[in-house]
Amino acid sequence: MLGSWRSSREFRFLLRWSVIASVIGVVAGLGAILFYEMLNYGTRLFLGYGAGFIPPESGAPLREVLAWQPPAEPLLLIPVLTLGGLLSGIIVFTLAPEAEGHGTDAAIRAFHREGGRIRRRIPLVKMIASSLTISTGGSAGREGPIAQIGAGFGSLIGELFRLSERERRIALAVGIGSGVGAIFKAPLGGALLSVEILYHNDFEKEALIPSVMASVVAYSIFSLYDGFSPVFTAEEYHWTLAQLPLYMLLGGVCAAFGLLYIKAFYGVRDIFQRLRIPAFLKPALGSFLVGVLAVALLKLFPSDGGAAALGALGMGYGYIQLALYNALSPEVMGVLIFSKIAMTALTIGSGGSGGVFAPGLVIGAMVGGAFGAIFSKLLPSLVPPEAVPAFVIIGMMALFGGVSKAPIAVLIMVSEMTGDYSLLFPAMVAIVGSYTLTGSESIYREQVPTRLHSPAHMGEYLRDILVLHRVSEAMRRSFPVAEPHETLRQVVLRMRHGITALPVFESGRLVGMLRMRDVLSLPAERWSEVSVGELMDREVHTITPEKSLLEALEYMEEKELKTLVVVEGERVVGLLLKSDILKLGERRVEE
């Protein structure tokens, strides 16, 4: 009987979320197409016509990727970048300030702290602002925007379906996964990302099945439009056991550069937050500095065709593709590591709108490629030149898997993006090292360690704990009291240490409660005139010591109280404060 009931409940859950997830998937897939085309048209308009520069594209044949040319007049990059930052800043800080930055943190914060709610205007504002930032050359990716866009769609659909707060949070997570899974053509990776990226060391398991459903739908819609080929063109690379120590070492190197990426990003962000200029001008200033840095690098590295400078502009996926074709020198990749870190920090840290995922992949790819190229020269028999692209792929996985605290999702996503699953085992070796060595540092500051630490789940754990504890364990046995004949001024100073209501006794008998909110409703100059008996509430709410703290908390919430008097028969034995219940519960949760 129990088994059939459980099966029926699971079937209803599956049926309900099949509908909701499919709707989210359709909306996220169409949203990904719109965002993708806005980026394409914007890039041709701003960088192409405005600055005379079209970045190389990922997934194209080698001859097409190599056909790119640096701009004839590099100085045009500066006004184009500055214009993009200015327009993005005006749109964001006028319409939706929470859309600034990389977006993923805003989606994570909405899950944990805002009941899964995102304002309806956010998807459109984020889409336009991010398109302007990225298509004018700002160093940012489309993951953060599409995560916040998808999360916004999930939140909106949650409202339309009148979902509970818990279900709305799941819908938000499903929106993240379906948007990312669509635009990166990584449906499984996107679904895993939606449940892993919310925490450092945990998963939002309830969202996994709906996320898989929605991600498949969104991926199918987007790929019907753009094709089913992976984002990057990569061969199937073979590795040997003798190379494993190098992959382990690569994991450590990626951890070091990942920490540098985090420190630089938040260091620059803190500097811009302290600047005393209008908020909407900060992205323009950051983008201006990106342009200046790009032009300076072009002057410093003319012999490399500008790859060391221009590879740091925009998403940079074309330069990952060049690295996968083994078409970048170690020197260029080395410069790209630092220029991409600096330009991403300036673009997004200043308040520009864009994601940190794509820059993280570029940095990881260049770290892996440079590392592999160096060992190819030092140990050609162990790392032949054709093995260097394998280090590029594993570098992407290791670096961003470590700094995002989403190693499993990134491992699968990059495999789907390259269409190469042959490197899963050596990548696992590298990614474990990077994840471990980066410790608690994460590029996403709104992540929490586990479900136990999430405000979204705290109530679930708290209620389970409070039902096991009695009122007698949390009540105060020593507490101040008042008498009816005393004035308010005489007793008000007794209300401290969290006490906001005093029991009032007359001839040893409990006759009422004096509440701070009632005292504060009177002007302070009248406190000497008004007696406790005039203001006290004669209705006294009591509870007995053997009741559970959960019962006490539920009664307080129902009656909108912060204090209960604890009685045994006719005798008053304690005072129970709502704040003391929550403190005890939180201590037990942490234990």
Report how far Cα 215 is from the mean position of its chain's Cα atoms.
Answer: 18
pLDDT at 258: 97
- In this prediction, residues 491-514 reach a mean pLDDT of 89
DSSP alpha helices (H): ranges in 161-240? 165-183, 187-196, 208-226
Domain co-membership, 385 together with 412: yes
In this structure, is residue 3 part of a structural domain?
A: no
pLDDT at 589 over 70: no
Phi then psi dihedrals of residue 506, to 5 deg = -135, 115
Instruction: Indicate whether 385 and 508 sit together in one domain.
Output: no
Residue 101 has pLDDT above 80, yes or no: no
Examine the domain organization and report whether 67 and 97 are in the same domain: yes
Q: Cα Rg for the chain, rounded, in angstroms?
A: 29
3-class DSSP assignment, residue 298: helix
> Are 125 and 163 within one domain?
yes
What does the pLDDT average to over 109-115? 88
Separation between Cα atoms, residue 17 and residue 182, nearest integer Å: 19
Domain boundary among 406, 435, 453: 453
**76 lies in a domain?**
yes
pLDDT reported for residue 2:
42
Whether 514 and 491 have beta carbons less than 8 Å apart is answered as: yes
pLDDT at 80 over 70: yes
> What was the pLDDT predicted at 8?
64
Q: Do residue 374 and residue 487 come from a single domain? A: no
Q: Are residues 389 and 529 in the same domain?
A: no
Mean pLDDT, the chain, rounded, equals: 89
- Go through 136-175 and write b for each residue having 16 or more CB atoms within 10 A of its CB, e for each that does not: bbbbbbbbbbbbbbbbbbbbbbbeeeebeeebbbbbbbbb
pLDDT at position 62 is: 81
Asked if residue 2 is part of any domain, the answer here is no
Q: Are residues 291 and 317 in the same domain?
A: yes
Output the pTM of the full model: 0.81
Checking if the pLDDT of 70 tops 60, the result is yes
Q: Which amino acid is at 327?
A: A
- The angle formed by the CA atoms of residues 154, 170 and 468, to the nearest 5 degrees, is 150
Residue 5 lies in a domain: no
pLDDT tens figures, 150-172: 888 899 888 888 888 888 999 99
pLDDT for 481 beyond 60 = yes
Tens-place pLDDT, residues 212-242: 999 999 999 999 999 999 999 888 888 888 9
Residue whose tokens read 């409070």 = 466
Domain boundary among 453, 476, 499: 453
Does 118 share its domain with 210?
A: yes
Q: 511 and 412: one domain? A: no
Q: What is the pLDDT of residues 274-331, one digit of tens each?
A: 999 999 999 999 999 999 999 998 888 776 656 777 888 989 899 999 999 998 999 9
Give whole-number Cα distances, 416 to 119, 185, 200, 337, 510, in Å.
Answer: 32, 7, 23, 24, 71
Residue 9 pLDDT class (50, 70, 90 cuts) = low
Q: Tell me, what's the pLDDT at 37?
A: 95
Residue 470 lies in a domain: yes
Strands (E) located in 459-562:
501-506, 509-515, 542-543
Q: What is the pLDDT of residue 1?
A: 42
Question: What confidence tier does 590 reach under pLDDT thresholds 50, 70, 90?
Answer: low
Q: What is the pLDDT of residue 324?
A: 93
According to the model, what pLDDT value does residue 5 have?
42
β partners of residue 548: 470
What number of other Cβ atoms are within 10 A of residue 445's Cβ?
12
Q: Which range of residues forms the domain containing residue 546?
A: 457-590
CB 59 within 8 A of CB 241: no
In a shared domain, residues 305 and 274: yes
Tokens of 374: 């160096």
* Residue 505 located in a structural domain: yes
Examine the domain organization and report whether 411 and 493 are in the same domain.
Answer: no
The pLDDT, as a whole number, for residue 38 is 95
Helix 104-113 and helix 455-466, axial crossing angle in degrees, nearest 10: 20
**Cα gap 316→330, rounded to integer Å:** 17
User: Which segment of 14-28, 62-76, 380-394, 572-586 scores lowest on mean pLDDT?
Assistant: 62-76
pLDDT exceeds cutoff 90 at 135: yes
Residue 303 vs residue 335, higher pLDDT: 335
Q: Is residue 160 part of a domain?
A: yes
Question: Which residue, 437, 453, 469, sits at the end of a domain?
Answer: 453
Count other C-beta atoms under 10 Å from residue 349's C-beta: 24
Task: Please count the structural domains in the chain.
Answer: 2
Distance CA 497, CA 399 (A): 48
Query: Domain containing 443 — which CATH number?
Result: 1.10.3080.10
User: 424 and 409: one domain?
Assistant: yes
Go through the chain and tell me how many residues it has: 591
More confident of the two residues 412 and 103 = 412
More confident residue, 271 or 16: 271
Look up the CATH number of the domain holding residue 544: 3.10.580.10
Task: Give me the pLDDT at residue 14, please.
Answer: 81
Q: What is the pLDDT of residue 39?
A: 94
Mean pLDDT of 244-262: 97
Does residue 212 belong to any structural domain of this protein? yes
Q: Which two tokens stand for residue 367?
A: 């770290």
Amino acid 71: pLDDT: 84
